[in-house]
């Protein structure tokens, strides 16, 4: 059932992202000038460690809105709106109302802290076997959950991998299917 639902989400997103009728003129534009339709689906991302990804919004965290794969259940911070773009790419909007940015400098961390959608805020969904997906940035880098204990940013999501391995795969979980 989950594989069918995920396939339907991807199909619906692809249809709305450019294969269907043109967007209405009252659709807001992002920083690149593309129209931004309403989100197709509210989803959660489950990383290779079995934990859900959150946009951490706790007071005093080192980086407000940082994406972390460290939650055992889905709450508000673990929900993302999957926003299809005209280009066939997607943006993620976190529960704080901010768009996820896939940074190109430093740790290349994924952070939900942007008010608008530009190139650094879009991803391509790469469908993989066993109901998994990889998230590829415009530069061709894949989002990874850093799962090496003792690493610089344990469980942080970074956009710094050229190849797809276990840490670069996620399950796209429709919120309607969550327990």
The full set of domain ranges for the chain reads 2-177
At residue 133, φ and ψ (nearest 5 deg) are -135, 155
Q: Mind listing the pLDDT tens digit for each residue in 84-134?
A: 998 889 999 999 999 999 876 777 889 999 999 998 999 999 999 999 999
Q: pLDDT confidence of 25, banded at 50, 70, 90?
A: very low
- 156 or 92, greater pLDDT: 92
Could you tell me the two tokens for 176? 């309607």
Q: Is the pLDDT of residue 5 over 80?
A: no
pLDDT attached to residue 61: 64
Q: pLDDT confidence of 154, banded at 50, 70, 90?
A: confident
User: CA dist 91 to 1, 81, 119, Å?
Assistant: 25, 8, 10
Neighbour-count burial of 133, counting CB atoms closer than 10 A to its CB (0-12 exposed, 13-18 middle, 19+ buried): buried
pLDDT attached to residue 149: 79
pLDDT attached to residue 16: 34
Q: Is the pLDDT of residue 11 over 50?
A: no
Within 13 A of 168's CA, how many CA atoms are on the CB side? 19
5-19, 92-106, 129-143: range with highest mean pLDDT: 129-143
Residue 30's Cα: distance from chain center in Å? 17
pLDDT attached to residue 67: 93
Question: Which of the residue ranges 7-11, 22-26, 38-42 would you say has the lowest mean pLDDT?
Answer: 22-26
pLDDT attached to residue 65: 87
Q: Mind listing the pLDDT tens digit for each residue in 32-85?
A: 555 555 556 899 999 999 999 999 887 766 677 889 999 999 999 999 999 999
Architecture of domain 2-177: Trefoil (2.80)
């Amino acid at each position: 059932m989950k594989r069918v639902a995920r396939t339907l989400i991807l199909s619906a997103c692809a249809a709305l992202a450019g294969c269907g009728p043109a967007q209405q003129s009252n659709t807001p534009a992002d920083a690149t000038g593309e129209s931004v339709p309403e989100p197709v689906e509210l989803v959660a991302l489950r990383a290779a460690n079995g934990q859900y990804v959150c946009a951490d919004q706790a007071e005093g965290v080192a980086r407000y809105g940082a994406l972390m794969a460290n939650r055992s259940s889905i709450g508000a911070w673990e929900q993302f709106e999957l926003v299809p773009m005209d280009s066939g790419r997607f943006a993620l909007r976190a529960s704080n109302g901010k768009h996820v940015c896939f940074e190109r400098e430093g740790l290349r961390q994924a952070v939900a802290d942007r008010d608008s959608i530009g190139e650094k805020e879009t991803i391509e969904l790469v469908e993989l076997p066993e109901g998994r997906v990889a998230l590829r940035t415009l530069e061709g880098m894949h989002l990874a959950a850093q799962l090496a204990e003792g690493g610089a940013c344990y469980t942080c999501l970074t956009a710094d991998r050229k190849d797809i391995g276990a840490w670069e795969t996620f399950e796209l979980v429709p919120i309607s299917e969550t327990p």
